[in-house]
């Protein structure tokens, strides 16, 4: 965590801890401080007795804010909107949380490539939505190994042949949405491979 962020949290704790009654606290002290910081920056937090959903929105959120998420055990749904100033390694801190069920990365820039850090034994992750200009082959490979994954939505521009082959191997999926420019033969191969999955394809419409 960035030193300035640590200092801010420590100061708040020093001034608030004497006035808190542990018997009445529902979130941990650290989680409550993190909640305040997220809301201050324009994000969202759902859950009064436990953290259920967190949303980061806008360029005020930096890598050090993702580091805070490692203290949010129990988190089920994470959203990121227009987070363009964080690289893929920022997502490592989020993906350590084994309670995650859903992850939405919308307008995520390079952040979405951090899906390559999904643990192989991520037993609860069921839904992933990605909206980005690109998604690395390493991220596709990691998603393919998540056996609990049921819903996958991809809006990632063009997909390469190797990426499409990895999608075709995601036999665990029940729903797949792809918004991309795909050759009809490639689209058919994906549909044929995922016979137990509802597959929705939406071509990219150029504004030119």
Mean pLDDT of the chain: 86
pLDDT tier, 1 (very low <50, low <70, confident <90, very high otherwise): low
The total of other beta-carbon atoms located within 10 Å of residue 48's CB is 10
Confidence (pLDDT) at 86: 86
Residue 188 has pLDDT above 70, yes or no: yes
Q: Give residue limits of the domains in the chain.
A: 1-16+26-111+122-129
Of the listed ranges 15-19, 140-144, 173-177, the least confidently predicted one is 15-19
> pLDDT exceeding 90 applies to what percent of the chain?
60
Quick check: helix, strand or coil at residue 193? Answer: helix
pLDDT tier, 143 (very low <50, low <70, confident <90, very high otherwise): very high
Pure H helices in 29-136: 29-40, 63-68, 91-95
Mean of pLDDT values over 23-41: 83
Mean of pLDDT values over 167-192: 94
Residue-wise burial string across 137-176, b where 16 or more C-beta atoms lie within 10 A, e elsewhere: eebbbbbbbbeebbbbbbbbeebeeebbbbbbebebbeeb
Q: Please give the model's pTM, rounded to 2 decimal places.
A: 0.84
Confidence (pLDDT) at 129: 97
Mean of pLDDT values over 121-129: 87
Mean of pLDDT values over 68-97: 90
Q: Which residue has the higher pLDDT, 121 or 190?
A: 190
Mean of pLDDT values over 143-168: 93
By the 10 Å C-beta count (0-12 exposed, 13-18 middle, 19+ buried), 134 is classed as middle
* Cα 151 to Cα 85: distance, rounded to the nearest angstrom: 27
Residue 195 has pLDDT above 50, yes or no: yes
Confidence (pLDDT) at 4: 61
């Amino acid at each position: 965590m960035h030193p300035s962020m640590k200092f801010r949290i420590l100061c708040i704790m020093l001034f608030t801890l004497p006035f808190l009654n542990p018997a009445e606290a529902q979130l941990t002290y650290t989680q409550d401080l993190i909640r305040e910081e997220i809301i201050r920056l324009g994000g969202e937090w759902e859950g009064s007795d436990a953290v259920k959903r967190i949303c980061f929105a806008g360029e005020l959120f930096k890598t050090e804010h993702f580091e805070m998420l490692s203290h949010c055990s129990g988190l089920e749904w994470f959203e990121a909107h227009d987070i363009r100033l964080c690289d893929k390694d920022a997502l490592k801190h989020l993906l350590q949380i084994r309670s995650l069920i859903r992850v939405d990365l919308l307008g995520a820039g390079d952040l979405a490539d951090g899906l390559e850090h999904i643990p192989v034994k991520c037993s609860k992750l069921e839904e992933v939505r990605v909206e980005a200009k690109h998604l690395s082959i390493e991220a596709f490979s990691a998603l393919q190994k998540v056996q609990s994954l049921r819903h996958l939505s991809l809006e990632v521009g063009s997909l390469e042949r190797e990426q499409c082959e990895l999608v075709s191997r995601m036999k665990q999926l029940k729903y797949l949405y792809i918004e991309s420019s795909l050759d009809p033969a490639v689209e058919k191969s994906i549909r044929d491979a995922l016979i137990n999955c509802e597959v929705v394809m939406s071509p990219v419409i150029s504004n030119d």
